[in-house]
Amino acid sequence: MKRVLKYIAIFVIVGGFLNSCETTELDLRVSPNDLASNQADPNLLLTSIQLAYGTNQQTLSDRSAELVRIDYMFGRNYFNNYPGSTLDGVWSRTYSSGGNGVGDFTGVGMLTNIQALEAIDAESDIDYSFHLGVAKTLFAHQLMQLVDFIGEAAFSQAGNATEFPAPLLDGGQDVYNSALALLTEAEGYLTGNPGTQGAVDIYYNGDVSKWRKLINTIRLKAHYTTGNMAAFNQVIAGGNFISSAADDFEIKYGTSELQPDDRHPDYASDYTPSGANIYQSNWMMETMLNNNDPRIRYYFYRQVDATPGADADPNEETLACSLVVPPQHFQDGGFTYCSVPNGYWGRTHGNDEGTPPDNFTRTAVGVYPAGGRFDDSSFGTVGLGVGGGGAGIEPIFLSSYVDFWRGAMAASDADRANFLRSGLEKSIAKVQGFAALDGGADLSFEPSAADVTAYIDGIVADFNAATGDDKENIFAEQYFTTLFGGATEAWVYYRKTGYPTTLVPNWEPDPGPFPRTLLYPQNEVITNPNLTQKQSLTQQVFWDTNPASPAFPVAN
């Protein structure tokens, strides 16, 4: 995703929407130099919508991954870790970025720009069906995600500042229904083969057939999340959804270090002259190591071959917790408190220690999905331009994810096992395709086809032989591992099912209730008198029917 497009879009669109700052009560005329919303460039409007959506996906994926231990979470108290500002950016980019709330039209949010596109399309001789179909598809998915993260969203009163200056939020089920209706609208706009009219499609390069598959995949996501088996199976019967890597929905990054910096954000953070700056999750690395998962060399790059406190001497300077006796709740559950062996140097959920001089020893992001280094046991260091140069992806909807949804919805264990197998096959094949990005790696360390087959056969055999929690944990661990790098749906799965129960607990014995939703965006609370901030993170989404905290989940 090219950041230069973001700057161009923001400059042009904001310039088109903002009224003169010098307007007074004595001068109420409209300047002929000001552009009305229906005079903006529709191609730049669509670009802005795509960029806003993509940035939101990065934020939502990161927060979800932290909560379920796919990524590392800093801080021991959940309520303090996720304040009202957590989703301020997501909210404003969805509705009216830079404005004063969902009723304010002075920004460049998705809804603002969709309404501008509608006005242009209504008055123009040019057919902008492609623009509206793409924009409404992305907006529909974004609305569902707001419900998944905060329980509600603005829709029926949003984007109408004159009539609803302080919009009320709609209930989660109502928003889902409205989002599904938007998908139907989008599908209508994308019927046939509408021309792009010069628009830049940063996701599917103008391929309308792939956008139609995405629409059905978002429907699958909605029906899976809400447990609507009949509707889920109806979409499956239609067959037109993301089922192969060729149709995967993802953000693609480049290798430019200077403006615009279009590298994967995790690569930009970890591959610096001063070393890596992200801590990887001990739970994720240990789970993959214990399973002998063939994807581990692609996900993570080790800068050292041993970890203090595991298979190297404890080191108070670089890994202080390697000298600490684990607290009782870690001992009771047999969880790893600090150190994973073999140089998988990360941090455990909730670790709030300061940052020691370990930038050239901690494990960095690998070649998938961040475009970093493939781990060929060279134990080198990270740096600018090393590995794939950041030419990775941000996964959003992959065909492997869909197979796991189908497995979760399957009527029999035999069908679940088949979808577990196909999901792993697709995931590993996609991951292995990234090795070539690292031209300096020794690819003889890649797992062979026989290794991959043996791994998948072993996982499926274990799943078939297991019962109860053991069976559910195998399925969930493999799903979470597959979601690495694009984990927005992981928190949804955990709240729906309570699995896997193998998640390592928080460092803090009493971290507060596990979040079932996040707080309302604080900027909207401040500017909207009809909205009162929540006092806890325990409100459950309408589809979340698991017992209330603290009984759920098992591991806080």
Q: What is the pLDDT of residues 68-100, one digit of tens each?
A: 999 999 999 999 999 999 999 999 999 985 444
Residue 279 predicted with pLDDT over 90: yes
- Distance CA(22)–CA(16), nearest Å, equals 16
Q: What are phi and psi of 526, to 5 degrees?
A: -65, -40
Q: What are phi and psi of 301, to 5 degrees?
A: -120, 120
Task: State the pLDDT at residue 307.
Answer: 98
Pairing of β 300-301 and β 364-365: antiparallel
- Mean of pLDDT values over 175-183: 98
Q: In sequence order, what are the residues at sequence separation of 6 or more whose Cβ sits closer than 8 angstroms to the Cβ of residue 451?
A: 294
Task: State the pLDDT at residue 46.
Answer: 97
Residue 32 predicted with pLDDT over 80: no
Q: In sequence order, what are the residues at sequence separation of 6 or more whose Cβ sits closer than 8 angstroms to the Cβ of residue 372?
A: 266, 267, 270, 271, 301, 364, 365, 366, 382, 386, 387, 388, 390, 392, 438
Q: What is the pLDDT of residues 514-553, one digit of tens each?
A: 999 999 999 999 999 999 999 999 999 999 999 887 666 6
Lowest mean pLDDT among 158-167, 171-180, 542-551: 542-551
Are 53 and 205 within 8 A, CB to CB?
Answer: no
pLDDT top residue among 13 and 50:
50
Task: State the pLDDT at residue 38.
Answer: 57
What's the number of CA atoms in the CB half-sphere (13 Å) around residue 527?
A: 18
- Mean of pLDDT values over 489-506: 96
Residue 16 predicted with pLDDT over 60: no
User: Would you mind telling me the total number of residues written for the chain in this entry?
Assistant: 556
% of the chain exceeding 90 in pLDDT: 88
- Distance CA(252)–CA(225), nearest Å, equals 27
Q: What is the pLDDT of residues 234-260, one digit of tens each?
A: 999 999 999 999 999 999 999 999 889
- Angstrom CA distances, 373 to 250, 285, 381, 383, 387, stand at 20, 16, 9, 10, 4
Task: State the pLDDT at residue 15.
Answer: 40
% of the chain exceeding 70 in pLDDT: 90
- For residues 73-101, one letter each, b for 16 or more C-beta atoms within 10 angstroms of the residue's C-beta and e for the rest, the string is bebbebbebbebebbbbbbbbbbbbbbbb
**Secondary structure E strands in 268-344:** 300-301
Task: State the pLDDT at residue 31.
Answer: 42
Residue 340 predicted with pLDDT over 90: yes
Task: State the pLDDT at residue 35.
Answer: 46
Burial of residue 325 (number of CB atoms within 10 Å: 0-12, 13-18, 19+)? exposed
User: Given the structure tokens 């309520």, which residue do they identify?
Assistant: 79
Q: What is the pLDDT of residues 305-330, one digit of tens each?
A: 999 999 999 999 999 999 999 999 99
Q: Which amino acid is at 437?
A: L
pLDDT top residue among 7 and 362:
362
